[in-house]
Structure 1
Amino acid sequence: MTRLRWPALAGLVLIALGAAPSTHPAAADAPAPGSFATLVDEYYAALFAWDPNQATYAGIHDYDDKLADLSEANYTRRAATLRKQHERLRDLRTGKLTEAEAIDGEALDHAIRAELLEIESVRDWKRNPVIYLGKPAEAIDLLMKRSFAPPADRLKAVIGRLRAAPPVLAAMKANVGAPPKEFADLGVIVAKGSVGFFRTDLPAWAKSAAGKDEKLLAEFTAANAAVIDSFESAVRWLDKDLLPKANGKYAIGAKAFMKKLEAEEMLDIPLDKLLAIGEANLKRDQEAFVATARKIDPKRTPAEVLATLNEDHPKPEDLVGATRGTIERTRKFLIDKKIVTLPSEVRPTIAETPAFMRTGGFASMDTPGAYETKATEAFYYVTPPEKEWEARRKNEHMRQFNRTGMDIITIHEAFPGHYLQFLYAKQYPTKVRKLYFCGTNAEGWAHYAEQMAVEEGYGDGDPKVRLAQLNEALLRDCRYVVGIKLHTEGWTVEQGKRFFVEQGYIEPETAFQEARRGTYNPTYLYYTLGKLQIYKLRGDVQKAKGAAFNLQAFHDQFVRQGALPIKLIRRIMLPGDTGPTL
Structure 2
Amino acid sequence: KDLTSLAIHFTKEDVMLLDDLKNNLKEYHPTLLLVAKNARDAVQNYLDYLIENEPSLIEPAGLGADNYNWWLKNVHLVPYTIEEIIDRVEMEDYRLYTMLKLEENRNKDVPDLKPVKSYRQYRDLVRGAVDHLMEFIESNEIFTVEENIDIEKYWAARKSAFRTGNDEMGVPDYFSYYVQREPVPHEAHEGLGHDFEWQRLDNDQREIRGIRRLFFIEWIRDEGWAFALEELLMHAGVLDGRPRSGREIVYEQAIFRNCRALMDLKMHTRILNLNEAMDFCVDCAPHGELLDDSHHLWYEARTTLRIPGWHMGMVIGKIQLMKLFRDRAKQLGMEFNLKQFLDHFISTGFIPISLIRWEMTGL
State the TM-score bracket (shorter-chain normalisation): 0.7 to 0.9
Select which of 172, 179, 198 maps to 1:422.
198
Select which of 307, 311, 336 maps to 2:139.
336
Q: Deviations over 1:370-409 (max 9, x none)?
A: xxxxxxx7887355525764xxx438774243311x2211
Q: Check conservation: 2:93, 2:255, Cα contact below 8 A.
A: yes
Match of 1:284 in 2: 95
* Corresponding pairs, count: 344
1:521 and 1:313 mapped to 2: Cα distance?
A: 34
Residue 231 (structure 2) pairs with residue 451 (structure 1): yes
Q: Check conservation: 1:188, 1:238, Cα contact below 8 A.
A: no
Q: Check conservation: 2:18, 2:40, Cα contact below 8 A.
A: no
Select which of 528, 536, 547 maps to 2:323.
536
- The residue type paired with residue 341 of structure 1 is T
Shift of 1:536: 0.9
Match of 1:522 in 2: 308
Relative to structure 1, the CA distance from residue 317 to residue 254 in structure 2 (aligned partners, 3 Å threshold; closer, same or farther) is farther
1:511 and 1:317 mapped to 2: Cα distance?
A: 29
1:558 and 1:380 mapped to 2: Cα distance?
A: 31
2:34 and 2:67 mapped to 1: Cα distance?
A: 39
Q: What's the RMSD between the two structures over aligned residues?
A: 3.6
Shift of 1:312: 2.5
Alignment of 1:479-498 (within 5 A): 479-498=260-279
1:447 and 1:380 mapped to 2: Cα distance?
A: 22
1:443 and 1:230 mapped to 2: Cα distance?
A: 39
Select which of 63, 70, 89 maps to 1:259.
70
Match of 1:38 in 2: none
SS of alignment partner, residue 245 of structure 2:
helix
Residue 153 (structure 2) pairs with residue 348 (structure 1): yes
2:54 and 2:162 mapped to 1: Cα distance?
A: 30
Match of 2:219 in 1: 439
| Higher-helix-fraction structure | 2
Shift of 1:435: 1.8
Shift of 1:539: 1.7
1:317 and 1:381 mapped to 2: Cα distance?
A: 14
1:542 and 1:521 mapped to 2: Cα distance?
A: 34
Shift of 1:280: 0.7
2:305 and 2:312 mapped to 1: Cα distance?
A: 12
Match of 1:403 in 2: 181
Q: Check conservation: 2:257, 2:315, Cα contact below 8 A.
A: yes
SS of alignment partner, residue 385 of structure 1:
coil
Relative to structure 1, the CA distance from residue 395 to residue 428 in structure 2 (aligned partners, 3 Å threshold; closer, same or farther) is closer
Match of 2:51 in 1: 243
Q: Deviations over 1:516-570 (max 9, x none)?
A: 2433333111111100101111221222222222111221222222221101112
Structure 1: stretches of 5+ with no match in the other structure: 1-126, 128-177, 208-220, 300-304, 352-376
- The residue type paired with residue 339 of structure 1 is I
Shift of 1:264: 4.1
Q: Check conservation: 2:79, 2:354, Cα contact below 8 A.
A: no
Match of 2:341 in 1: 554
Select which of 3, 7, 10 maps to 1:186.
10
2:74 and 2:24 mapped to 1: Cα distance?
A: 41
Q: Check conservation: 1:433, 1:562, Cα contact below 8 A.
A: yes
Residue 237 (structure 2) pairs with residue 413 (structure 1): no
Residue 172 (structure 2) pairs with residue 394 (structure 1): yes
2:306 and 2:15 mapped to 1: Cα distance?
A: 17
- The residue type paired with residue 237 of structure 2 is G
Q: Deviations over 1:179-236 (max 9, x none)?
A: 42113322443565578789989xx9xx9xxxxxxxxxxxxx99x8897466323321
Q: Check conservation: 1:191, 1:234, Cα contact below 8 A.
A: no
2:140 and 2:175 mapped to 1: Cα distance?
A: 33
Select which of 228, 231, 245 maps to 2:39.
231
1:242 and 1:463 mapped to 2: Cα distance?
A: 49
- The residue type paired with residue 6 of structure 2 is E
Relative to structure 1, the CA distance from residue 277 to residue 388 in structure 2 (aligned partners, 3 Å threshold; closer, same or farther) is closer
Shift of 1:469: 0.7
- Of all paired residues, the percent bearing the same amino acid is 18
- The residue type paired with residue 457 of structure 1 is G
Q: Deviations over 1:325-365 (max 9, x none)?
A: 432122221112111111224423557xxxxxxxxxxxxxx
1:552 and 1:234 mapped to 2: Cα distance?
A: 55
State the TM-score, normalizing by the size of structure 2: 0.80
Relative to structure 1, the CA distance from residue 506 to residue 234 in structure 2 (aligned partners, 3 Å threshold; closer, same or farther) is farther
1:236 and 1:532 mapped to 2: Cα distance?
A: 44
Q: Whose Rg is larger?
A: 1
Relative to structure 1, the CA distance from residue 569 to residue 386 in structure 2 (aligned partners, 3 Å threshold; closer, same or farther) is closer
Alignment of 1:455-474 (within 5 A): 455-460=235-240, 463-474=244-255
Runs of 4+ in 1 over 6 A off after TM superposition: 194-201, 224-227, 377-380
1:320 and 1:186 mapped to 2: Cα distance?
A: 30
Q: Check conservation: 1:313, 1:401, Cα contact below 8 A.
A: no
Alignment of 1:98-109 (within 5 A): none
- The residue type paired with residue 49 of structure 2 is D
Larger relative contact order (Cα-Cα within 8 Å, sequence gap ≥ 6): 2
- The residue type paired with residue 138 of structure 2 is I
Match of 1:57 in 2: none
2:205 and 2:333 mapped to 1: Cα distance?
A: 27
SS of alignment partner, residue 63 of structure 2:
coil
